[in-house]
Structure 1
Amino acid sequence: MTARTLHVDPSNAEQARSWDGEEGSYWAAHADDFDRALRAYQRPFLDAAALHRGERVLDIGCGSGLTSRAAARLTVGGPVLGVDLSGPMLRVARREAEREGLDSVRYEQVDAQTYPFPEASFDIAVSRMGVMFFADPVTAFRNIARALRPGGRVALLVWQGLERNEWFRSFATALAAGRDLPVPPPDEPGPFAMSDPGVVRDTLTAAGFDTPELTGLERPMTFGRDAERAYSFVSGMLAWMADDLDETGRARALANLRVDIEAHATPEGVRYASAVWVVTATRP
């Protein structure tokens, strides 16, 4: 399936092209690197979700399926549906679920903002860094709330603000090579779209949830076991930041990135400070 045959809300068309295209393919090819970067947050996120045996789980923006597979183990076979816009990442998710023998997990390539999930068919919706890219967040969360039973809940992992996330600031500064790169706007789809607690509360309550609770966490992100692996991973992930530079400028930007990464190398890997919100809320 390609983005041309995906049924997405028109407002999400650009996101579909990206995640079902080159960007999604890169994330799929480097699924282990992405999962390693967020590993320090996985356990506290799953603890907040408090999954129980037999619960029905919806994983929004499931990517390559790490959280879906963890949910299947924690619910001891409770049905898990992972959804994402990215065909390449879902292929990885299906392959890994089959490899691990997790037959209670299935995956669908859909737009969670508008997909007609069966009403009241899940006990909990979880999302690890997958809900910041909706073009219309209130509509999306209203659709998710509809899919939950009364008393059902959501557990989300989202970034705190840019000022709390050294990893993004450092990479962007290095690759700017003296230019002024635009900062991702907090009111548009992007990694920091749910970084403001007020926006999170307003969005979820407008969608029909009780007032959410936000718990802040700070953990190091590890981008590779050593500087060379981290540089290869990050330079590919953020190559678009240097697309408008000439050959000399691009070389300077990448050299800056390498120096920055080498400065963050530790015996435990290449580490940068980061901060997230763990968000939980209940559908009345």
Structure 2
Amino acid sequence: MIVNSDESNSSSDSHLNENEEWELSDLVNAIAVEVELAQDILSLKSYTRGMSFAIKNLSLDVEVKVRRTPEGKLLFRSVDADQTSATVLKLDFAQVIESQLRDVRKPLDGIISAASASNGISVASSSNIELKDLEAITLEQIKAFNKVGLHSVDDLERYTQTLPMIAELSRLTGIPEHRIRMWRQLPFITKVEPESKVKLPDSIVIRGGNFGKQQGEVWFQQQTAEKITEIFDWQETSLRVKIPPTLTGTGLLYAKIDNLFTNVIPWKREPT
């Protein structure tokens, strides 16, 4: 059989394009999904054949190339079949039992800390609430939660015990972070009005929810974070603040309420 060289090169290029960079969390999540599917298949075979089938251990050695982004993220790329790498990811997955899980799970009836007590999230019991009971949740969003193994509000609370976990769940599911924060009754920002401004506005309005009745703090993050001192109005769903004339360019706006940070939202003021 004679293979056209152009077709061969095209196939090779296609193969290279498919070998995209990934984060370690992406790999672990993909493996977890595959293992869960395999366990379901083995459970069915166990039932039909009257025998017990299960995956007890899974070990993977993956040769990779590593790159660190300017934002500090580590990105991996698996090496091609004709290449080698001195960097090897060694991943071991083992079956655990419920009693072992109880030792590492955090309680749901107290404050769960992200890094310290000042970053904790209070969690209430919700074992009888289904995902479909969450405010304005869509079927697509329920399916996205199901895809990563969340099937109840109790699951959602366990998976979002810290603020970084909320951001990660948003990335995995494609559900906006402010929606997850709303369901978790945490402060969130949806938009800033105006979105950007060429001239210096007298004030901007930050829309969102769960800001509380007592005034917190608003920050604008560029190379360094600067606290916004002029807050004209603080409501449950909106904040009106003045951005100092010295702050121009693109940055991130966020608020801090009762030691909890909101999600960040980009905002730009072009210099006049």
Which TM-score bucket, shorter chain as reference?
Answer: under 0.3
TM norm structure 2? 0.25
**Counting helix residues as a fraction of each chain, which structure ranks higher?**
1
**Counting strand residues as a fraction of each chain, which structure ranks higher?**
2
TM norm structure 1? 0.24
Say which structure, 1 or 2, has more relative contact order (CA 8 Å, 6+ apart): 1
The higher radius of gyration belongs to 2
